[in-house]
Structure 1
Amino acid sequence: MSVKRVAIIGGGAAGLINAQRFTKAGADVVIFEIGTKLGGLWMFGNDSGRSSAYRSLHINTTRDATHFDEFPFRTAPKMFPSHEDMAVYLNTFADDNGLRERTRFRAEVKRVEPVVEEVDGVSVTKWSVTAADGFEGVFDTVVVATGHLTEPRMPASLSAFGGELLHSHSYTEPQPFRGKRVLVIGTGNSALDIAADLAVVAGRTVISARSPELIMPKIIFGNPVGKYEGMVKKKWLPKDTHILVRRIITRIVHGRMETWGLQTPKGRTHPISHATLVNHMAYDRVKVRPGIRTISDRAVTFTDGTREEFDTIIAATGYDLSFPFFDESIVSLDSGGSLNLYGRAVSPRWPGLYFAGYFNTTGLSNLRIDDYQSRWFVALETGKTILPDLATMRAEIDEVKVWVKRRYPNTPRYAFELDPPLYLKFLQQEERLGPKRIAESGRPAAFLAANRSAADRSTLRSASAA
């Protein structure tokens, strides 16, 4: 392809694999990193202020599934890699591929806006990028990879608490809470890790679990639980057989959730797992209470009528998402907390604008999905495939929202939920349909890769629907 300039916003896993794929395709790539380190979320103590890693953090997927497709771990880390393992892995990947030299550190992106240039009589949309280090430049392509676990969501109702209040994003280790009465709000994986950390240090540890949750074990018969789920993911078996296996294993190892003060979910939820928390519950080191009704100074009254006083509340209450460097006309979240993106990643309206890593997944690591997404982006930018018409893209976006709403609780937590087999099938279909769409467009592939305007989305692209 002709040399394109590609801006990657964010030096975490999604940003690095996109930088590597575009560099390999011949693009001139610049990575904009807000801090001084590569690794994003997995860099404990990252001076970017955007990492939510804590000292005991391990990834939830196994080492065999937690790597880019063509770059496995060089040394065999533990079964579930730690944040140290992941930071070393990502930095090794960056150095092996010359990505550190392509990175502008302390370069928070302040503004990204479209600019229209006339190229051989054709209006072409490019992107002006302005960064805090004084950089100003124009790029053909922008990949946004700033992550969706960086802006803590703190419920306003917690402001009534008279003790120490912090979000799980700010939690790093249990020692500061020695002897304290601590309430952890939430039942996501981070909340469970934090409660387990505190169990042997805090004076009292309580989890407030508003929603039903299934706490899976990590290992059974010496193998990760995911191994047994994978064994039943066969085309000739019902597609949700692995979920049944997950529930059976959990029932065998942990019993009924009600035994521990939780509620067993009736429908599908995002899987959570922990190796030791249920044992801490059995030893009465961690208690479970339902949702919060009221807070008065340090006293918390729960929906079952029980009341306790706490010194500290740690709110594992999720994250908000925003893109302050974009005008809202470029991208914004809808009322359900979703980004209106084709294939979870591509702007239907704006050429050359991609969003990498904005999903939650189970059964396959985020890194592997990041990798597959990056290949799609490169294929689009090199003219190997093109997008369908606007109507098709909007229909797919709506279908995804219906799919999420039908399968998961209707809360912002599930807005980015993704099913790996279905998503990989979608990406394979995009690759397969590319030549057909190019032929139907009546334009050479090189033209499609080099000349894009905002009008492409409604005119040139719509030729495939004719």
Structure 2
Amino acid sequence: MSQETVAIIIGAGPAGIATSACLNLLSIPNIVLEREDCIASLWKKKSYDRLKLHLAKQYCQLPHLSFPSHFPTFVPKNMFVQYLDSYVSRFNVNPLYNRSVESASREDGEKWRVAARNAGSSEMEVFEGKFLVVATGENSDGFVPKVLGLEGFGGEVVHSSEYDNGKRYSGKDVLVVGCGNSGIEIAYDLVNYGARVAISIRSPVNILTKEMVQFGMSLLKFLPCNVVDKMFQTLIKFKYGDLSHYGLQTPSEGPFYLKATTGQSPVIDVGTMEKIKTGDIQVFQSITSIKGDIIEFTSGQTSRFQAIVFATGYKSTVRKWLKDDGGLFNEDGMPKKRAPNHWKGENGMYCVGFARKGLIGIANDAQKVANDIRLILRQQEGRCVF
């Protein structure tokens, strides 16, 4: 037996619930399948305590529901989760939880067939629909790079998705690997809990404050990206000085150009730069190898650590279960086309949450997908669409 619907949505993070909400408002039946036991599991279970939205709230709201006026400009994790819970209730989004999708394929050229394992009963369930929306996003599974000797490291090794706060690391030597927003904030959090902290940085980064990013996004409404970037490259130098003195390299490209063309977000300084300048956080280059508790870096430096936190991002899991991709995804499970042309494939295949544009990208894609499905359904019904 199979359950039939119009649209099957894989994933109940912000992307999945936003798409379901948009479809519900258009009275288009849909089913949301989620492998965890709650919506937004990345936010509820796999994010550190001090996390806040790095963009101002007006850039982070989902379709058809603004944040409450009393929420601060930069919304903390617990309030964002509260907003998401209110969102699913308001728009009658009812995911099926504990459903781990094992395959999704196109059947008979007319419908999608999704097989999912029910973790509660261990039974395989089958769902069929005209449309398939992949909403598992860019951040599906935590990624830890291969490091020579890592398996022999005697201390604790965690991915940033397993880190909540630095309480248990007080007095310990901790290396944070990665200088994205998670890495830079976790390093700061660890220092505040009394850890001795170092951070391993592989690539050049643009460092901005939350307020600088908010100002820049406002300017981009009126000025070309290259003009805004030149302004901010000057502002970064004025704010932080020559960061190369502290082991940090700045890319030649500006922060907003890199975000638009590669999806690489600027790093938001939450106080970490001051800790680096005072020496409370050491900066090392990439790891070359690990021998016991001694870590060697590409600079030739070595140091002992008792714990490693890999803030090295996530990877898409689409290729593990998607059998027919409708020409949408590449070998890495990411869209072949860049935004804004990334969201639609062939044969009723869509994706939401892969634009590399954060929550504002999710909101835009969810509405595009819902409206496109409505258009196709109307055309199939033989009605004129104006």
The bucket for the TM-score relative to the shorter chain is 0.7 to 0.9
Distance change >3 Å, CA 91–CA 329, structure 1 → 2: closer
Paired residues of 2:317 and 2:333 also in contact (CA < 8 A)? no
Distance change >3 Å, CA 166–CA 328, structure 1 → 2: farther
- Partners of 1:216 and 1:332 lie apart in 2 by 34
For residue 336 of structure 2, the aligned residue among 333, 340, 343 is 340
Distance change >3 Å, CA 329–CA 149, structure 1 → 2: closer
1:301 aligned partner, one-letter code: E
1:353 aligned partner, one-letter code: M
Asked if residue 225 in structure 1 is aligned to residue 221 in structure 2, the reply is no
What is the 5 A alignment of 1:273-292?
273-292=268-287
What is the 5 A alignment of 1:28-43?
28-43=29-44
Distance change >3 Å, CA 333–CA 163, structure 1 → 2: farther
- Partners of 1:181 and 1:328 lie apart in 2 by 47
Asked if residue 161 in structure 1 is aligned to residue 159 in structure 2, the reply is no
1:111 aligned partner, one-letter code: S
- Partners of 1:108 and 1:208 lie apart in 2 by 35
Asked if residue 113 in structure 1 is aligned to residue 105 in structure 2, the reply is yes
Q: Could you give the per-residue CA deviations for residues 34-71 of structure 1, whole angstroms, max 9, x where no partner exists? A: 2222234222x2xxxxxx31111111111122202431
Q: CA deviation at 1:199?
A: 0.9
TM-score normalised by L of structure 2:
0.86
- Partners of 1:168 and 1:227 lie apart in 2 by 25
Number of residue equivalences: 361
Q: Could you give the per-residue CA deviations for residues 120-167 of structure 1, whole angstroms, max 9, x where no partner exists? A: xxxx52011222224323111111111221312222213343322222
Q: Could you give the per-residue CA deviations for residues 210-254 of structure 1, whole angstroms, max 9, x where no partner exists? A: 111122122xxxxx213421343255x443222223222222222
- Partners of 2:331 and 2:105 lie apart in 1 by 24
Paired residues of 2:142 and 2:314 also in contact (CA < 8 A)? yes
**Which runs of 5 or more structure 2 residues have no equivalent in the other structure?**
259-263
Q: CA deviation at 1:179?
A: 1.0
SS in structure 2 of the partner of residue 74 of structure 1: coil
Q: Could you give the per-residue CA deviations for residues 378-412 of structure 1, whole angstroms, max 9, x where no partner exists? A: 23222369xxxxxxxxxxxxxxxxxxxxxxxxxxx
Other-structure match for 2:142: 152
- Partners of 1:328 and 1:151 lie apart in 2 by 21
Other-structure match for 2:207: 215
- Partners of 1:372 and 1:203 lie apart in 2 by 41
- Partners of 1:98 and 1:260 lie apart in 2 by 51
Other-structure match for 2:196: 204
Q: Which is bigger in relative contact order (C-alpha 8 A, separation at least 6)?
A: 2
Other-structure match for 1:92: 86
Deviates more, 1:200-209 or 1:16-25: 200-209
What is the 5 A alignment of 1:314-325?
314-323=309-318, 324-325=320-321
1:226 aligned partner, one-letter code: V
For residue 130 of structure 1, the aligned residue among 101, 105, 115 is 115
Identity %: 23
Asked if residue 22 in structure 1 is aligned to residue 18 in structure 2, the reply is no
Q: CA deviation at 1:371?
A: 2.1
Paired residues of 1:35 and 1:105 also in contact (CA < 8 A)? yes
Paired residues of 1:32 and 1:107 also in contact (CA < 8 A)? yes
- Partners of 1:331 and 1:168 lie apart in 2 by 32
2:163 aligned partner, one-letter code: Y
Q: Could you give the per-residue CA deviations for residues 105-128 of structure 1, whole angstroms, max 9, x where no partner exists? A: 222222222111xxxxxxx52011
Report the RMSD for the aligned CA atoms in angstroms: 2.5
Asked if residue 383 in structure 1 is aligned to residue 317 in structure 2, the reply is no
SS in structure 2 of the partner of residue 72 of structure 1: coil
Q: Could you give the per-residue CA deviations for residues 320-340 of structure 1, whole angstroms, max 9, x where no partner exists? A: 222222226667864677432
SS in structure 2 of the partner of residue 54 of structure 1: coil
SS in structure 2 of the partner of residue 113 of structure 1: strand
Whichever of the two has the greater Rg, that structure is 1
Asked if residue 248 in structure 1 is aligned to residue 234 in structure 2, the reply is yes
